[in-house]
């Protein structure tokens, strides 16, 4: 499903976060496009699907991303995320708008660890609590409501979804938030590396 909440407007900075899933166990692929105008941010559009492969999802994303003035895209560096990003570049999306986890720009995607995921979720929580980010999409709100603080065996506290709950939407939101907070594009990707 494609949901549009704000039409593309010149002067608004857009950022896209992507979480790609295999579709098993109810997991979904999510493209989250957020717009920032001044100090406030708002959900602009979402592509959400549990039933299509990465290349088809990349095609749907490509069309929508072009509508929103080709925002910077941050996806995961796992096999599915990198495959999606590679498909997006193959469709003609500007490679300098794709986040890479290395300075040589050969490793597509954002390298996630348990530690970075925790930091990024806490950062997103801060943005939401401060009222900077407005969200009009009910599934995103419901998914955020299942997040809870849990104590690990070593005594540390972490934040995450309740047992058995999904977190695909939140992970796409986290990547867009990371983009607004930290990422500065660094030139084109070394495309010959992918041939």
Residue-level pLDDT at 60 = 94
**Residue 109 belongs to a domain:** yes
Quick one: pLDDT at residue 78?
93
Tally of domains within the chain: 1
Q: How far, in Å, CA of 81 to CA of 109, rounded?
A: 7
Range of the structural domain that residue 139 is part of: 2-190
pLDDT of amino acid 184: 64
- Per-residue pLDDT at 97: 95
- Residue 47 belongs to a domain with what CATH number? 3.30.420.240
In a domain, 195, yes or no: no
Beta-carbon-side half-sphere exposure of residue 146 (alpha carbons within 13 Å): 15
> According to the model, what pLDDT value does residue 36 have?
96
Contacts of 171 (CB under 8 A, 6+ apart): 17, 19, 30, 76, 117
Contacts of 30 (CB under 8 A, 6+ apart): 18, 19, 46, 47, 48, 168, 169, 171, 172
Eight-class DSSP state of 191: G
In whole angstroms, give the CA distance from residue 104 to residue 98. 13
Whole-prediction pTM: 0.89
pLDDT of residue 186: 55
Q: What is the mean pLDDT of each successive set of 10 residues along the chain, which is 195 residues long?
A: 95 96 82 96 96 92 97 95 96 95 87 91 94 94 90 86 88 96 63 52
Does a structural domain hold residue 77? yes
**What's the CA angle centered on 134, arms 131 and 140, to 5 degrees?**
120
Per-residue pLDDT at 94: 96
Q: Residue 63: its pLDDT value, please? A: 95
Determine the Cα–Cα distance for residues 171 and 124; give it in Å rounded to an integer. 10
User: Is 62 part of a structural domain of the chain?
Assistant: yes
């Amino acid at each position: 499903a494609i949901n549009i909440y704000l039409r593309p407007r010149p002067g608004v900075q857009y950022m896209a976060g992507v979480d790609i899933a295999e579709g098993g166990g109810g997991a979904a692929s999510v493209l989250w496009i957020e717009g920032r105008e001044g100090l406030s941010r708002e959900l602009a559009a979402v592509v959400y699907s549990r039933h299509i492969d990465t290349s088809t999802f990349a095609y749907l994303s490509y069309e929508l991303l072009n509508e929103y003035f080709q925002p910077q895209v941050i996806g995961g560096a796992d096999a599915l995320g990198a495959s999606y990003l590679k498909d997006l570049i193959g469709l003609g999306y500007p490679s300098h708008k794709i986040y890479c986890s290395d300075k040589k720009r050969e490793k597509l995607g954002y390298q996630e660890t348990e530690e970075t995921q925790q930091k990024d979720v806490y950062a997103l929580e801060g943005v939401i609590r401060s009222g900077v980010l407005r969200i009009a999409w009910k599934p995103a709100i419901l998914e955020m409501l299942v997040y809870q603080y849990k104590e690990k065996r070593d005594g540390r506290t972490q934040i995450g979804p309740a047992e058995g709950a999904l977190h695909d939407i939140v992970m796409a939101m986290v990547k867009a938030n990371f983009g607004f907070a930290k990422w500065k594009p660094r030139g084109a990707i070394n495309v010959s590396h992918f041939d």
